């Protein structure tokens, strides 16, 4: 019999008809199968759609470009990890001892992936409407305190603008590796500014997420 997680269910605002879905969403690959990666793949798309709908409804006067920038800021890894910490997801994650010892339960990438997996699990358990409601609830503070005029641009945009201001060439991105099963790939990407002989890497569950992380890491090198 699969154990329920009533505390976490109350926090997200959804009681699972099939508690095995939530158990899977909280299981890291290191613990065994079924783990959360396929649910994370699904939840990533559900999250993007739901946040787009919520922003579209709440901000009818904003342009497509500004809505896209706000959405990118809301669903980037750091933002998802912060929400996961607010929900206390780390306490419910299942992973092997080695990963746990290496602070796996507090790793932003793992927290973000687990949160997206929970959204995917809710979608399978009760449909898009329920998943959207859970996303609206868990993003409540971020959405209510959102100031469209002060939304920070994503790392790739900030890096490109920084280089343009210095009259430097655009950064180049390339995929170094793709690991994992087809439905749950992990991408490792390099971001390089050859003119400055600078390069940084990033990883993520999508190429876009990995590129953003690599750009953020290269920005840190520039600032240093």
Distance from first CA to last CA of the chain, Å, rounded? 53
Residue range(s) occupied by CATH 3.30.160.20 in the chain:
155-223
Percent helix, percent strand, percent coil in the chain, to nearest 5 = 65, 10, 25
Mean pLDDT computed over 198-204 = 91
pLDDT band at 135 (very low <50, low <70, confident <90, very high): very high
Q: Give ∠ CA 182-185-187 in degrees, rounded to 5.
A: 140
Are 171 and 191 in contact by the 8 Å Cβ rule? The answer is: yes
Check pLDDT > 70 for residue 192. Answer: yes
Q: Is 25 exposed, middle or buried (0-12, 13-18, 19+ CB in 10 A)?
A: buried
DSSP annotation of 34 reads S
What architecture (CATH level 2) is domain 155-223?
A: 2-Layer Sandwich (3.30)
Q: Which of 75-79, 129-133, 142-146 has the lowest mean pLDDT?
A: 142-146
Quick check: bond before 46 cis, omega within 30? Answer: no
Residue range(s) occupied by CATH 1.10.1520.10 in the chain:
6-150
Check pLDDT > 90 for residue 183. Answer: no
pLDDT tens digits along 53-71: 999 998 898 888 888 888 8
Q: Is 184 exposed, middle or buried (0-12, 13-18, 19+ CB in 10 A)?
A: middle
Could you give the residue numbers annotated as active site?
Answer: 44, 116
Superfamily for 6-150?
Ribonuclease III domain (1.10.1520.10)
With a threshold of 0.85, does the pTM exceed it? no
Site of tokens 């993520």: 204
**pLDDT score, position 151:** 62
**pLDDT score, position 144:** 82
């Amino acid at each position: 019999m699969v154990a329920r997680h009533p505390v976490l269910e109350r926090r997200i605002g959804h009681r699972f008809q099939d508690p095995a879905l939530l158990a899977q969403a909280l299981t890291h690959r290191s613990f065994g199968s079924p783990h959360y990666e396929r649910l994370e793949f699904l939840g990533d798309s559900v999250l993007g759609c739901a946040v787009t709908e919520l922003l579209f409804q709440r901000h009818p006067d904003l342009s497509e470009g500004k809505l896209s920038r706000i959405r990118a800021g809301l669903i980037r890894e750091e933002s998802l990890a912060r929400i996961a910490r607010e929900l206390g997801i780390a306490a419910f994650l299942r992973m092997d001892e080695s990963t746990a010892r290496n602070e796996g339960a507090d790793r932003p990438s793992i927290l973000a992936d687990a949160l997206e997996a929970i959204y995917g699990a809710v979608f399978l358990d009760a449909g898009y409407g329920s998943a959207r409601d859970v996303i609206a609830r868990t993003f409540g503070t971020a959405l209510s305190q959102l100031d469209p005029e002060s939304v920070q641009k994503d790392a790739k945009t900030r890096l490109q603008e920084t280089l343009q201001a210095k009259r430097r060439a655009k950064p180049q991105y390339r995929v170094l590796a793709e690991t994992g099963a087809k439905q749950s790939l992990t991408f490792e990407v390099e971001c390089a500014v050859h003119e400055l002989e600078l390069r940084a890497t990033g990883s993520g569950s999508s190429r876009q997420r990995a590129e953003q992380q690599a750009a953020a890491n290269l920005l840190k090198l520039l600032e240093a």
